[in-house]
């Protein structure tokens, strides 16, 4: 399983920026314990964007989070954990009187998760477009976001504005199609919003199930072709323990993740995409001198050798994530 990136090449002189939710995941203390029977619940940082930010920080990259937390004790705890993992929080607003979103999670005997969200009116959903750090977004090495913050206003417009600012400045945009049907009352709207976000992505990560939900049934090649057709220059298509695809305009590889015994599969996809972004930063994304001043073309031209190195590194970190309870339990603080 992959550890922290150790290549001698310098990382990007500009920060990676992650936009989206920071949650508190409350887990039952061990696998097979039902929520109704749990004597205690164990808090971990949650929210797919926060997990990606932790992965970037764990690999030694400068990363800034754009989000909001409440003034409650659990929000303070999440803030401290993120700081311990090297995540910059200068642009994480504290909304006094609001609460951090909660996600209750029971992990069954096979390592699969069962989610119970408590998300209405939480601090992250109150992020406003006018609060965005525009200069940070325009000057980032990359901007990463997910689709959960598209569920309602004002955070929907905030997420869209952050993506638009990055695209206007030709900053690579990474989108994780992390569909969460339980958080949307209108499934058709969820898919429409996800497709719209995907069309704004230069780097697009989805699971095979998510791709099928967005695009309809098809072979892996057809799904990847359609994801490229939405505008993505680099596509990462995962399928749990099954083969995954890394694809650019120049090459496409189908690879297998390493075999591990899963304790908890929460956050495996987040660790995968976070490590993929870390690898791209190490290889030069965000540094104009190393991308020839055109990072978007650089992404499109990644060859088979580059894709194989990226895929192995990302999959190794995804495998590491499932070996401990919690989305980032396999990545202890390095500070």
Q: What is the model's pTM?
A: 0.93
Is residue 112 very low, low, confident or very high in pLDDT (cuts 50, 70, 90)? confident
| 87 assigned to some structural domain | yes
Q: 46 and 327 in contact (C-beta within 8 Å)? A: yes
Residue 67: name the closest of 59, 52, 209 by CA.
52
| 5 assigned to some structural domain | no
| 6 assigned to some structural domain | no
| 272 assigned to some structural domain | yes
- The 3-state DSSP class for residue 21 equals coil
The yes-or-no verdict on residue 8 having pLDDT over 50 is no
| 1 assigned to some structural domain | no
| 170 assigned to some structural domain | yes
The yes-or-no verdict on residue 10 having pLDDT over 60 is no
How many domains are there within the chain?
A: 1
For the chain, the C-alpha Rg in angstroms (whole number) is 18
- The 3-state DSSP class for residue 326 equals coil
Question: What confidence tens digit (pLDDT) does each residue in 221-273 have?
Answer: 999 999 999 999 999 999 989 999 999 999 999 999 999 888 777 889 999 99
Residue 220 sits in a domain whose CATH number is 3.40.1190.20
The predicted model gives 199-226 an average pLDDT of 97
- How many Cα atoms occupy the beta-carbon half-sphere of 65 within 13 Å? 31
Provide the residue range defining the domain that includes 21.
16-321
Q: Which helix (H) or strand (E) holds 176?
A: strand 173-176
The yes-or-no verdict on residue 185 having pLDDT over 70 is yes
Question: What confidence tens digit (pLDDT) does each residue in 116-152 have?
Answer: 899 888 999 999 999 999 999 999 999 999 999 999 9
Please give the pLDDT value at position 330: 79
Residue 2: name the closest of 300, 333, 260 by CA.
260
Spatial strand order of the sheet with 142-145 comes to: 87-95, 63-70, 16-19, 142-145, 173-176, 203-207, 234-238, 244-247, 252-255
For residues 127 and 135, give the distance between their C-alpha atoms in angstroms, rounded to a whole number: 17
| 195 assigned to some structural domain | yes
| 245 assigned to some structural domain | yes
């Amino acid at each position: 399983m992959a550890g922290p990136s150790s290549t001698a090449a310098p990382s990007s002189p500009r920060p990676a920026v992650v936009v989206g939710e920071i949650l508190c995941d409350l887990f039952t203390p061990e696998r097979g314990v039902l929520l109704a029977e749990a004597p205690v619940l164990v808090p971990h940082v949650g929210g797919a964007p926060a997990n990606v930010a932790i992965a970037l920080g764990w690999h030694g990259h400068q990363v800034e989070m754009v989000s909001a937390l409440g003034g409650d004790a659990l929000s303070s705890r999440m803030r401290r954990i993120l700081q311990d993992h090297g995540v910059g929080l200068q642009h994480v607003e504290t909304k006094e009187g609001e609460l951090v979103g909660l996600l209750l999670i029971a992990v069954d005997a096979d390592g699969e998760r069962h989610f119970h969200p408590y998300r209405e009116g939480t601090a992250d959903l109150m992020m406003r477009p006018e609060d965005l750090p525009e200069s940070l977004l325009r000057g980032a090495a990359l901007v990463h976001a997910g689709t959960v913050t598209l569920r309602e206003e004002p955070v929907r417009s905030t997420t869209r504005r952050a993506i638009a600012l990055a695209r206007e400045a030709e900053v690579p945009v990474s989108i994780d199609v992390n569909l969460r049907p339980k958080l949307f009352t209108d499934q058709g709207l969820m898919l429409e919003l996800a497709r719209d976000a995907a069309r704004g992505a230069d780097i697009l990560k989805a699971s095979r199930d998510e791709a099928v939900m967005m695009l309809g049934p098809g072979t892996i090649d057809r799904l990847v072709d359609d994801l490229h057709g939405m505008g993505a220059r680099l596509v990462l298509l995962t399928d749990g323990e099954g083969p995954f695809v890394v694809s650019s305009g120049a090459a496409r590889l189908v690879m297998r993740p390493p075999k591990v015994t899963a304790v908890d599969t929460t956050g495996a996809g987040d660790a995968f995409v976070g490590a993929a972004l870390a690898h791209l930063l190490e290889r030069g994304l965000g540094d104009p001198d190393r991308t020839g001043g055109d990072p978007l073309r650089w992404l499109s031209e990644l060859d088979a050798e580059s894709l194989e190195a990226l895929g192995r590194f990302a999959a190794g970190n995804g495998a590491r994530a499932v070996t401990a309870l919690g989305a980032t339990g396999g990545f202890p603080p390095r500070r």
